[in-house]
Chains A and B, each alone.
Chain A
Amino acid sequence: QVQLVQSGAEVKKPGASVKVSCKASGYTFTGYYMHWVRQAPGQGLEWMGWINPDSGDTNYAQKFQGWVIMTRDTSISTAYLALNRLRSDNTAVYYCARGLWGSNAFDIWGQGTMVTVSS
């Protein structure tokens, strides 16, 4: 079935970097945009940006420009979210989510990856 499976939880120190993966299955990976959404503990949802897996083009929310990088590897149907120069307030669950074809509502979500930043 259609699903997105993300990599496991991470614990990092301030200033470190982390790379979260999102493996797609059950559909044509290059046919749908992939979005990343952040949720801090007990908080709401925050869109970070999208990547077009076909072209590699990206669109980042201004807030995240300069410290996140979205990439993909089409050979293994996997999208990646790299976070640099981590701070404690970056502690959150990071979700990948597929953009519904023809719109950018998010119809399939990964299970989420908890990234904890702590010294």
Chain B
Amino acid sequence: DIVMTQSPDSLAVSLGERATINCKSSQSVLYSSNNKNYLAWYHQKPGQPPKLLIYWASTRASGVPDRFSGSGSGTDFTLTISSLQAEDVAVYYCQQYYSTPYTFGQGTKLEIK
């Protein structure tokens, strides 16, 4: 199984500041035949299901604000929120869909400082 490890486990950022969350996979999730990274990011607010933010490591899902961006390739990935808003408080998860079982990181709790 591919193990996904996020850092940090929790993060406190001031409103309007940048937030960065890292995700590392135990093996590459880059599929060489199409040069795509099989990596997604979600956030989950209390009492709600997760919401897809980013797929293919850097493609924003429909309706996701452009302050959210994803980067990285192979085994190392980053989610960046360029200017934190109050509504961004949530737990953030990365997920690989390169091979089954699809696996998630342990989650990063993002709070307002």
Which residues of A approach B to under 8 Å, CB–CB?
A: 35, 37, 44-47, 59, 61-63, 95, 97, 100, 103-107, 109-112
Contacts and interface: CB of A to CB of B under 8 A. Distances in A.
Nearest to B56: A103
26 contacts: A35-B102, A45-B42, A45-B50, A45-B93, A45-B95, A47-B102, A47-B104, A61-B100, A95-B49, A97-B49, A100-B52, A100-B55, A103-B38, A103-B40, A103-B55, A103-B56, A104-B97, A105-B52, A105-B61, A105-B97, A106-B42, A106-B52, A107-B52, A107-B61, A109-B50, A111-B49
B40 A105 contact: yes
Contacts of B100: 47, 59, 61
Nearest to B40: A105
A104 B107 contact: no
Contacts of B104: 44-47
Pick the most buried of A44, A59, A62: most chain B CB atoms within 10 A of its CB. Answer: A44
A62 B101 contact: yes
Contacts of B51: 109
Given A100-B55, A105-B40, A47 B103 contact: yes
Interface in B54-113: 55-56, 61-62, 93, 95, 97, 100-107
Contacts, number: 62
A61 B102 CA distance: 8
Contact of A44 (B52, B97, B106): B106
- B interface SS class: loop
B101 A105 contact: no
Interface string B17-48: 00000000000000000000010101010000
Contacts of A44: 93, 104-107
A79 B112 CA distance: 38
A47 B52 contact: no
Nearest to A107: B52
B56 A110 contact: no
